[in-house]
Each structure stands twice: as C-alpha cells, then as structure tokens.
Amino acid sequence: MSQMNRRRALQLLAALGTTGLVAACGNDTDEGSGGGARSPIKIGLITPQAGGLKAIGEEITNGFQLFLDLNQQQLGGHPVTLVTADEGESAKTGKAAVDELLRQGVLALTGVVNSAVMLGIRDTVEQARVPLIGSNASPSTLQSVVYIWRTSYVLDEAGRALGGYLRDKLPANSRVAMIMPENVGAPDVVRGFRQEFGASDRRIGDPVVWTTAATNPGKTAFVSDIQKALSRRPSAVFCFFAGDAGVEFIKQLRNEGYRGPVYAPGFLTEGTALDSMKNDALNIQTALNYSADLNNTANRVFASAYRKKHNTSPTTYAMASYDAAQVLHQAIDLAGENPNPQQVNLALGKLGQIDSPRGIWQFNQPRTPQQKWYLRQVQRDGQVTSNVVVTELATLG
C-alpha cells in the first residue's frame, strides 16, 4: 500500500464509524496517477460458488471487493467491473470458467481455490497470455509459468514451517500420526514437513494415513482412517484439511476420543470452519502466513475495514485476495493509460515490496511470495474462539 493509499485508507476508517464504507469511498479524489479518469477494465474472479469450498470462495470475493471499496472501485486509476465465474470442483469446470472470462475480454484473472483446478487451467492461462493472480491454490508442481502469479503460499511451505518447529519441540519419545486427504496439495505438505523435521526421524516414521479427498464429506467419512491412525497411540496428530472437510475431520477425531495436540496448516481453523468446530478446535496449533491480530498499520486498516463491513475477522483467504487486488492495482498503474494483459504481466515483474496485512513481502522468482510464517493457537475470546499468534516461525519463499 503506497503512503498516499495508507493515508486515504485511514481517513476511510475514520469515516466508517458514521457514514459507512460505501459512503466514505464515494468522495475519494486522491486515487490514480494523473489527470482524468482512465478507461474502464474488467477483472475476472474465479471461485467455487457451491459445495464444501464455497465459504472460502466467499472470503476471496470479500477480500478483493474490499480493496475496490477502499479505492473508488478502481485499479490503477481505471474503473473496474468485477466479472465472476464458478470454478466448480474439477479441472474441467475450472477451464470452462476461465474460457468464459477470457471471452468477456478481462484484463487479468484472480481467485482459484482448488489446487486441482489451478493445475487444470495452467495451459489455458499461459496460452491466452492473460495474467492470473491466484489468491489461494498454490501446488508446488505449478512451475515454469509466465502468466501465473500467486499471493497465497506454496503448499510445502506450511509443512516446512511446522516441521522445523515440531522437530525441536516434541520430546524424543513422541509419535506423530500424519492423516491427510488424498488430494493434489497434501503430498506437498507432507514433503515439506518431512524435509524440515528429518525424514529419518523415528517420531514421524509411521506411514501417512490417507483419507477421502471429498470437500463435503459425510458424518462418518473419516472414522475408519482415524481409528487406524489412533491405533498407533500417537502423542500428536498432523493433518491437512480445509473448509467443511476440516470441520468434519476434527469432529470425528474428537468423537473417537482423541484429545491430544493437533497441528496443521492454517486452513484447518480459518473462517467459518473455526466457528463450526466450536470447542473441538480449542488449542489446535496451525502455521500460516497471516493472523487477524497481527500488529502492523496495513493490517489495522484491512482488518478494521473488513470487520466493519462483514462483522467478522478476516481470514488468510480474504487477505491474499486483498493483496491480489493490491498488486494488480500497482501493476495496472505501471502499465499506463491503455494497458493490455501482456503489459500488466510485465509490470507485475517490476513490483518491489508489498506493504501487506501479513507484513512486508515480495514476489520471488517462481512468482510466489517470500514472506513470514506464524504459529497460531486456537484460544477462547469471550464467547468465541479465535486464532492467536504464539510466535514467528520462519521466513520462507
């Protein structure tokens, strides 16, 4: 966020208490670089609009829209029409969404929740030469891309962040049960975890227990796999689930009598998933690149505005989408008065440090963030539970 934008955002926050977000944005005249209004542009937003990942898609939409709200519905001085498309749950439905948005002449794409969808649309995006700023799905196998950028994180980094921490924390006689959905992202998480923990360490020597990859699983979908893992008498559980699947996994794990430590990438306890878990989530520890309680100026602006508009704290999904809008804002401004997708893509490569709610970060050579990672613990805050930062883990990327 530029110094000018930060000042303007703080002014907006002051206005929120009496006039509301939309009214506060309506009189902003500071934004844009230069004289009159620039030509309108279209941005394509790809998210799941049904199923077990719908809530994550809504968070991504909320984050992107909030940046537009704070910037007169403009990116780089250009009035924006945000065109949405349903990514569905497969590579086929994701490609159909991208094809439709490209047909409508979007300047850039953003969003994408499911890693399988991201891999499935890779060639379509690269061949179209239209930049995609992915704000969630980020498998490590997505490599050698020119037009795909990501503002979330590469999935093995969550495993690495926790692996290094637990290697030093867990006693020598510990045994960790790894329980993972058989999906595209889980092997990345396991690989990163083993890499930092030590692949030959006997504490993680048991084979991974693989479960269904369903995003909207049934009430007993994980029971047999949980029983298999618990038969090894683990002293800790390491898992990787998100959305509705994460809620069901934790409920079924607790129903099977496990009350020990649970460690996971932060998706497990984000947003509505945490609300749905209730007391079952208490003391779960997760590694993530963001927490709503981070104390920096950019986050105070973002989190306060988000709470005003949605009456809830923002998640990493919303934050990464907000940052996707922020980097597009800067790149489109650099690209000039009549940008095309290729010019915007070149401008993305010229961006330096991003002043983000997560803290300062920047794109690395693979077009993913170099950023800090935090350990969070689910704690009770009055009548609700929340993720509270315990310590900083590492800088990865």
As a three-state string, the secondary structure of 157-185 is: HHHHHHHHHHHHHCCCCCCEEEEEECCCC
Report which of 249, 124, 138, 245 is spatially closest to residue 184, judged by C-alpha positions: 138
The residues of the chain scoring below 50 in pLDDT are: 1-34
Structure tokens at 384: 């609700």
Q: Is 43 exposed, middle or buried (0-12, 13-18, 19+ CB in 10 A)?
A: buried
Strands 78-86 and 41-47: parallel
Residue 71 neighbours by CB under 8 Å, 6+ apart = 5, 25, 28, 31, 329
Q: According to the model, what pLDDT value does residue 381 have?
A: 80
Q: According to the model, what pLDDT value does residue 24 have?
A: 37
Q: According to the model, what pLDDT value does residue 36 have?
A: 62
Structure tokens at 83: 């065109």
Cα angle 137, 140, 144 (rounded to 5 degrees) comes to: 100
Q: Distance of alpha carbon 138 from its chain centroid, rounded?
A: 9
pTM for the model stands at 0.85
In angstroms, the CA 238 to CA 343 distance is: 43
Alpha helices by DSSP H, listed for 280-315, are: 297-310
Q: According to the model, what pLDDT value does residue 39 have?
A: 93
Helix, strand, coil percent content, the chain, rounded in steps of 5: 45, 20, 35
